[in-house]
Amino acid sequence: MNTKAIARYGLLTAMMLILGFLESRIPVAMAIPGVKLGLANAVLLYALYLMGGKSALILMVLKVVLSGLSFSGLSAMMYSAAGSALSLALMVLLKKIKGFSVLGVSVVGAVGHNVGQLAVACLITGSWAPMAQLPLLLASAVLTGIATGLAARLTVKHLGGGNI
């Protein structure tokens, strides 16, 4: 890996960590645990579309581990890892399907993140009770996925990476 690539990974990782930290300070919906804006996902979408799936995977792992160690702890890291892994896997697959825009990929990624986290909650509790949150989380995922997809599209456009 060359110096330019290392600098790019460092910059994008820092951006995701800062966005994740700022997002944790925004009270989106206190009544619905787990609802987040997903701002760092715009950076992940940028990486997926302009750098490829392998680079997006590296950035996702860096974000999960570093934000977990820095801000949230091991328990939250498990939830984040499950949600992020499912989200990225779905986004990589859908990106390859003709007809899916970055908005569609982003929305499915947001939905996947919520489903992955709820799956871990079900495993930990040994109950399906956490799935009661699914309808609210899916509705918020659609809205935040659209916002994140638009942010990614604008970022790529303004950084000269073309249209996605």
Q: How confident is the model at residue 156, as a pLDDT?
A: 79
| C-alpha span between 78 and 143 (Å, rounded) | 24
Q: How confident is the model at residue 126, as a pLDDT?
A: 97
When pLDDT is averaged across residues 52-59 and rounded to a whole number, the result is: 96
What is the greatest pairwise CA distance in the chain?
48
- Label residues 118-151 b or e (16+ Cβ within 10 Å = b): bbbbeeeeeeeebeebeebbeebbeebbebbbeb
Residue whose structure tokens are 């990929």:
105
- Of 19-33, 49-63, 67-81, the range with the lowest mean pLDDT is 19-33
| C-alpha span between 103 and 94 (Å, rounded) | 11
- Choice between 75 and 163, residue whose per-residue pLDDT is larger: 75
pLDDT in tens, 10-33: 999 999 999 988 887 877 655 566
Q: How confident is the model at residue 24, as a pLDDT?
A: 79
Quick check: 116 and 84 in contact, CB under 8 A? yes
Tell whether the model's pLDDT for residue 155 goes beyond 60.
Answer: yes
Q: How confident is the model at residue 28, as a pLDDT?
A: 63
Its sign, for the CA torsion 148, 46, 86, 26, is negative
